[in-house]
């Protein structure tokens, strides 16, 4: 029987994403000057205020106020009428030293035996539904907001946009789990104040449908057939959306974990990513399981795969690795047998995950909005500035967990 499935996304200006981006900018700056930094940084943003808290073990010192303001400015909170503005908001830091009790469970005389930074379970998912091996509803939800942000920065076709926004896409699937059409699209975008509210709402709806959506279709011509005249559009369904961002809703690091991963497909262990250095398996092992799932699906092991790994704090070896192919396996093996082969191909001890995916580099700011998975693997040059005025320029590889660099190993192991 046909069914509907929905995923959502939030923009870089959403208060929770503002918090995520500040936390990850701090991670990048710590790692740029001290790759061995241990950091767990939480951010709270509200009207005119940024509050930083967390634990750090690092040999470097940062001007955290300046870093936070730079992130806010880049997002676009640059006007006083937003009630949250890069140059004027208060920035309070309550960051302190990491607990020695936790650190003794992570650091070891031999780096290879580095323990997991916490207990817990992490999941990685992949599906051959899109070329990125990601769920289509989430991909489209992200791209709607990426194009909306591009329109806001261009400030030509649509001139009234403010940074905060959310999207949602509902797909109809056929009996054989193939997307056949888009049933509904929801877009809520913050905007400048208008004197005539009914005219304003009509204009926003018209601009979203006639300017934004065609740009999304142009970026995804292979899915153009899913867009149809019968789509139910809900554009700013509550009406006026002038008050937004951290002034309209307090933002916290780690509150958009499903937006960050698979949009409700697969599973999530519950741990957030942003603000955590890679010794925290909440982050590194989630990236590693995505890397496994993507390489398995791309190699043809199954059409859809969920990989679970779990850890005990301070212990290097995972307590379990589980694979679920949802009955889509193309190899004559049980899911348990597939899992045993996966254990032999991928070393899931924390140190080896860090090395394999190059996670002790400043690569995290780019992950903090529009999803941590399904993104473009590329090499970029980044420059960081220390409080004493010194600059450090580094070349880093982003989204290493999206590489299909284990295809040959997987195909050999499964005789594909």
Select from 214, 245, 276 the last residue of a domain.
245
- Determine whether the annotation assigns residue 249 to a binding site: yes
Q: Domain limits at 188?
A: 3-10+136-245
Take residue 405 and report the two structure tokens written for it: 């660099």
Same domain, 140 and 124: no
Identify the three-state secondary structure at position 392: strand
* CATH code of residue 21: 3.30.300.10
Residues 6 or more apart in contact with residue 222 via CB below 8 angstroms: none
Q: Over the Cα atoms of the chain, what is R_g?
A: 22
- Determine whether the annotation assigns residue 57 to a binding site: no
pLDDT for residue 114: 83
Same domain, 293 and 311: yes
Same domain, 73 and 169: no
Q: Is residue 113 part of a domain?
A: no
- Determine whether the annotation assigns residue 240 to a binding site: yes
Same domain, 236 and 262: no
Per-residue pLDDT of the chain (416 residues; tens, 9 = 90+): 799 999 999 999 999 999 999 999 999 999 999 999 999 999 999 999 999 999 999 999 999 999 999 999 999 999 999 999 999 999 999 999 866 555 555 665 567 778 887 899 999 999 999 999 999 999 999 999 999 999 999 999 999 999 999 999 999 999 999 999 999 999 999 999 988 888 899 999 999 999 999 999 999 999 999 999 999 999 999 999 999 999 999 999 999 999 999 999 999 999 999 999 999 999 999 999 999 999 999 999 999 999 999 999 989 999 999 999 999 999 999 999 999 999 999 999 999 999 999 999 999 999 999 999 999 999 999 999 988 888 999 999 999 999 999 999 999 999 99
- Determine whether the annotation assigns residue 391 to a binding site: no
Residues 6 or more apart in contact with residue 379 via CB below 8 angstroms: 395, 396, 397, 398
Same domain, 173 and 320: no
pLDDT for residue 389: 85
Cα–Cα distance for residue pair 122/235, rounded to 1 Å: 35
Same domain, 295 and 380: yes
Same domain, 34 and 86: yes
Same domain, 280 and 332: yes
- Determine whether the annotation assigns residue 272 to a binding site: yes
Same domain, 196 and 325: no
- Determine whether the annotation assigns residue 411 to a binding site: no
- Determine whether the annotation assigns residue 164 to a binding site: yes
Length of the chain counted residue by residue: 416
- Determine whether the annotation assigns residue 14 to a binding site: yes
Same domain, 330 and 392: yes
Q: Is residue 303 part of a domain?
A: yes
- HSE of 271 in the Cβ direction (CA atoms, 13 Å)? 24
pLDDT for residue 45: 98
Same domain, 221 and 370: no
- Determine whether the annotation assigns residue 256 to a binding site: yes
Select from 215, 245, 275 the last residue of a domain.
245
Same domain, 78 and 60: yes
Pairing of strands 90-97, 49-57: parallel
Q: Is residue 406 part of a domain?
A: yes
- Determine whether the annotation assigns residue 166 to a binding site: yes
pLDDT for residue 107: 60
Instruction: Give the pTM.
Output: 0.96
Number of domains in the chain: 3
pLDDT for residue 111: 72
Q: Containing H/E element for 57?
A: strand 49-57
Identify the three-state secondary structure at position 240: coil
């Amino acid at each position: 029987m046909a069914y509907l499935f929905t995923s959502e996304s939030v923009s870089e200006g959403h208060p929770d994403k503002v918090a995520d981006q500040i936390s990850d900018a701090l991670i990048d700056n710590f790692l740029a000057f001290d790759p061995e930094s241990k950091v767990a940084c939480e951010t709270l943003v509200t009207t005119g205020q940024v509050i930083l808290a967390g634990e750090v073990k690092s040999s470097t010192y940062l001007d955290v106020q300046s870093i936070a303001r730079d992130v806010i400015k880049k997002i676009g909170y640059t006007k006083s009428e937003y009630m949250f503005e890069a140059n004027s908001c208060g920035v309070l830091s309550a960051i302190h030293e990491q607990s020695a009790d936790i650190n003794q469970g992570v650091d070891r005389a031999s780096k290879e035996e580095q323990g997991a930074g916490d207990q817990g379970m992490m999941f990685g998912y992949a599906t051959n539904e899109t070329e990125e091996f990601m769920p289509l509803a989430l991909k489209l939800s992200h791209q709607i907001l990426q194009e909306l942000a591009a329109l806001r920065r261009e400030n030509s076709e649509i001139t009234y946009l403010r940074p905060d926004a959310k999207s949602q896409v509902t797909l109809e699937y056929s009996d054989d789990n193939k997307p056949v059409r888009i049933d509904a699209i929801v877009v809520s975008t913050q905007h400048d104040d208008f004197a005539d509210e009914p005219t304003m709402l009509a204009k926003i709806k018209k601009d979203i449908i006639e300017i934004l959506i065609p740009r999304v279709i142009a970026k995804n011509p292979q899915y153009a057939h899913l867009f149809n005249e019968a789509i139910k559009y809900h554009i700013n369904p509550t009406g006026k959306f002038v008050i937004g961002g951290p002034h309209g809703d307090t933002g916290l690091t780690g509150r958009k974990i499903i937006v960050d991963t698979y949009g409700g497909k697969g599973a999530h262990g519950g741990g957030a990513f942003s603000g955590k250095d890679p010794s925290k398996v909440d982050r590194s092992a989630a990236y590693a399981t995505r890397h496994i799932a993507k390489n398995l699906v791309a190699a043809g092991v199954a059409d859809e795969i969920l990989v679970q790994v779990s850890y005990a704090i301070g212990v290097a070896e995972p307590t379990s690795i589980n694979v679920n192919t949802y009955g889509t396996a193309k190899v004559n093996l049980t899911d348990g047998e597939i899992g045993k082969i996966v254990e032999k191909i991928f070393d899931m001890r924390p140190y080896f995950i860090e090395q394999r995916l190059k996670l002790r580099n400043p690569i995290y700011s780019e992950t903090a909005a529009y999803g941590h998975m399904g993104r473009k693997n590329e090499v970029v040059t980044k420059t960081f500035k220390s409080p004493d005025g010194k600059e450090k320029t580094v070349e880093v590889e982003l989204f290493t967990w999206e590489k299909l660099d284990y295809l040959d190993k997987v195909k050999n192991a499964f005789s594909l």
